[in-house]
Structure 1
Amino acid sequence: MTFDAIGIASTGMTLHRKWLDSVSDNLSNINTVKATTDDAFQARYVVAQEGEGTSGVYVQGAAFGSAEGRLVHEPDHPLADADGYVRYPDIDLASQMGQLIMAQRGYQASAAVVDRAKESYQAALQIGRN
């Protein structure tokens, strides 16, 4: 039972780590400018999948945001088109920060489960020695 808890919690830690990677990638590219003839940076989102029975949770894949992005009028930008527009990704900073907090808390919760399960296992070993 203790090893099941550690295994399940470790799948949660892996999922949340990948979610954190995705959010950090989105945040680092929030100001990536492209010419209007190019696709904008596409935000990345982790798609989670429940495992069978009590096997935990897994990354099923990734979903991507719109390549259309948003047009911003910056006529002095070197990538601006004839009308003065450039393309930015359509990434909402507030939403990404909320996701960052949720992913961090999920990772911390899964890590706490691993710690508690390890402590329980060590206590059981101590009882067995006495």
Structure 2
Amino acid sequence: MSLFNVFDVSGSAMRAQSVRLNTTASNLSNANSVSSSVEQTYRSRQPVFAAQMSRAESNLEGASSVGVEVKGIVESNKPLNIEYNPNHPMADEKGYIYKPNVNVMEEMANMISASRAYQTNIQIADNAKKMLSRTLQIGQGR
């Protein structure tokens, strides 16, 4: 794999982790929202990642430098949190309020994992840059 491919692969990973962080932020910001119907209730979302296989198939070096792409964002099918609270202003005619199916602890772990993966890919790109710089310095006779 060429050192230049490292930038493409780590860049695709950083874009994917950025989507993951944004999705996690959306989940956390809506974790305590309330609605009066199942249809209007926020549902936890997760990004779906896949290898960039179309790029790998066209790559002359084979699959040694395959990045990642975001295929989409899916909503969780876990049940919503339903609470009987007839005094709440958002309660439906039966006295129920509906809360998102967001698990704050899972989202915090997801946020830490995405943040560390992003940082790791920054370090990979930085190390590749340093290696290229050192290679150029060899050519200068230093």
Say whether 1:25 aligns with 2:26: yes
Question: 1:85: Cα distance to partner?
Answer: 1.2
Q: Shift of residue 72 of structure 1?
A: 1.2
CA-to-aligned-CA distance 1:54-95 (integer Å, 9 cap, x gap): 231110111111385221122221111233210001111111
Look up the SS of the partner of 2:15 in the other structure.
helix
SS in structure 2 opposite 1:25? helix
| Equivalent residue in structure 2 for 1:115, among 121, 126, 129 | 126
Match of 1:81 among 88, 92, 96: 92
TM-score, normalized by length of structure 2? 0.85
Structure 1 contact 39–69 (Cα < 8 Å) conserved: no
Q: Distance in 1 between matches of 2:84 and 2:104?
A: 20
Moved more, 111-120 or 75-84: 75-84
SS at match of 1:83: coil
Distance (Å, rounded) in 2 between the aligned partners of 1:81 and 1:58: 41
4+ aligned runs moved over 3 Å, structure 1: none
Alpha-carbon distance change, 37 to 115 in structure 1, aligned in 2, over 3 angstroms: closer
Structure 2 gaps of 5+ residues are 57-62
Alignment match, 2:114: 103
2:138 alignment counterpart? 127
Shift of 1:114: 0.5
Two-structure CA RMSD over aligned residues (Å) = 1.5
Q: Percent identity?
A: 28
Task: For 1:11, give the aligned amino acid.
Answer: S
Q: Sort the Cα spacing of 1:62 and 1:37 in 2 relative to 1 into closer, same or farther, 3 A.
A: closer
Q: TM-score scaled by structure 1? A: 0.92
2: CA distance between counterparts of 1:44 and 1:78?
A: 26
CA distance in structure 2 between the partners assigned to 1:36 and 1:59 by the alignment: 31
